[in-house]
Amino acid sequence: MKKTVNTFKQAKENGEKLTMLTAYDYSTAKLIDEAGIDAILVGDSLGMVCLGYPDTLSVTMEDMIHHTKAVTRGAKEAFVVADMPFMSYQTSVYDAVVNAGRLIKEGHAHAVKLEGGMEVCEQIRAIVKASIPVCAHIGLTPQSVNAFGGFSVQGKGEEAAKRLIEEAKAVEEAGAFAVVLECVPEALATLITQQISIPTIGIGAGAGCDGQVLVYQDMLGLYSDFVPKFVKQFKKLDSEMKDGFRAYREEVRAGLFPAKEHTFKIDETVLNKLY
Ligand code: KIV
């Protein structure tokens, strides 16, 4: 059944866990969709895991639209959320609405996600007013890596923890349908989950959240530049892939591939006329 914003609402009401994974292309989106995952996030993590940048800051609207289009073609039932890249919504409320609209009109996403709490509530309100569902994202917000001075756990001290609770309540009040909590202590994430009525989607925020999200390359062991503590590698596909690439190299060098079954025939009479 097609997943919608109502899937998120009902899951929270019924205490059912939501599942979300990232994808950036058609064939991966199709596999994730067929596996029954509720939602696919076209994350700006694209910049790191697909494009090889050290952070997410260089990702553009064009990058996001290009990859969102591919994902939405592969997702038949999953709810597709597209990330708003750095500087596509911070600059003004007008930019936020225009760029959110592009991800829906051109990328065919069902919702957008943006990072930040109180400081982006005006943008969330305006995008929601334009009938575009918004997923908020608080805690470790990677687009603020330079302001944070690195990727670190957020909300550990009393002030910071209280602030995070206020941020969660503010984005809910602004109209977000869900909020991602990234790198937040488990007990704090659980408390936030109990204090708001929209679902919390955790990444590095423990089991008390209403749902979980992971970057698919992380959970399949395909990205080894940096493996955060919160990642579980459900498969180790990096070695499987390298084995496949090596086997191909060996068979081509040994003349074993392509074999007869991989080739096409031509009629002998036609062939004879070519000599
Ligand atoms: O860009 C992304 O993949 C994300 C997730 C880590 C939540 O924002």
For residue 197, give the CATH number of its domain. Answer: 3.20.20.60
pLDDT given for residue 22 in this prediction: 98
Based on the fold, state whether residues 126 and 218 are members of the same structural domain.
yes
Q: Above 90 in pLDDT, residue 110?
A: yes
d(CA 154, CA 150): 11
pLDDT given for residue 54 in this prediction: 93
- Rounded to the nearest integer, the mean pLDDT of the chain is 97
Share of the chain above pLDDT 70, in %: 100
d(CA 170, CA 225): 35
Based on the fold, state whether residues 14 and 143 are members of the same structural domain.
yes
Q: Above 90 in pLDDT, residue 150?
A: no
Based on the fold, state whether residues 187 and 246 are members of the same structural domain.
no
Catalytic residues: 182
> What's the whole-model pTM score?
0.96
Cβ of residue 44 lying under 6 Å from some atom of ligand 1:
yes
Based on the fold, state whether residues 24 and 67 are members of the same structural domain.
yes
d(CA 235, CA 222): 9
Based on the fold, state whether residues 245 and 216 are members of the same structural domain.
no
Distance from residue 1's CA to the centre of ligand 1 (Å): 25
For the chain, the distance separating the N- and C-terminal CA atoms, rounded to the nearest angstrom, is 60
pLDDT given for residue 88 in this prediction: 98
Mean pLDDT of the 3-19 span: 98
Cβ of residue 185 lying under 6 Å from some atom of ligand 1:
no
Based on the fold, state whether residues 83 and 156 are members of the same structural domain.
yes
Q: Above 90 in pLDDT, residue 226?
A: no
Based on the fold, state whether residues 193 and 252 are members of the same structural domain.
no
pLDDT given for residue 28 in this prediction: 98
Based on the fold, state whether residues 247 and 231 are members of the same structural domain.
no
Q: Above 90 in pLDDT, residue 273?
A: yes
Distance from residue 11's CA to the centre of ligand 1 (Å): 21
Distance from residue 44's CA to the centre of ligand 1 (Å): 6
Mean pLDDT of the 258-262 span: 98
Based on the fold, state whether residues 148 and 248 are members of the same structural domain.
no
Based on the fold, state whether residues 18 and 131 are members of the same structural domain.
yes
pLDDT given for residue 103 in this prediction: 99
pLDDT given for residue 230 in this prediction: 96
Name the CA dihedral angle for 98, 102, 104, 109, rounded to a multiple of 10 degrees.
-120
Total of domains in the chain: 2
pLDDT given for residue 177 in this prediction: 98
pLDDT given for residue 16 in this prediction: 98
**Which of 180, 217, 222 is the best mutation target for the ligand 1 pocket, counting ligand atoms within 8 Å of the beta carbon and taking the most?**
180
In the structure, what pLDDT confidence band is assigned to residue 224 with cuts at 50, 70 and 90?
Answer: confident
Domain span at residue 151 reads 5-236
Residue range 13-72, pLDDT digits in tens: 999 999 999 999 999 999 999 999 999 999 999 999 999 999 999 999 999 999 999 999
Based on the fold, state whether residues 264 and 154 are members of the same structural domain.
no
Mean pLDDT of the 246-272 span: 97
Region for 69 from its dihedrals, namely left if φ exceeds 0, alpha if ψ lies in -120 to 50, beta otherwise: alpha
Based on the fold, state whether residues 131 and 226 are members of the same structural domain.
yes
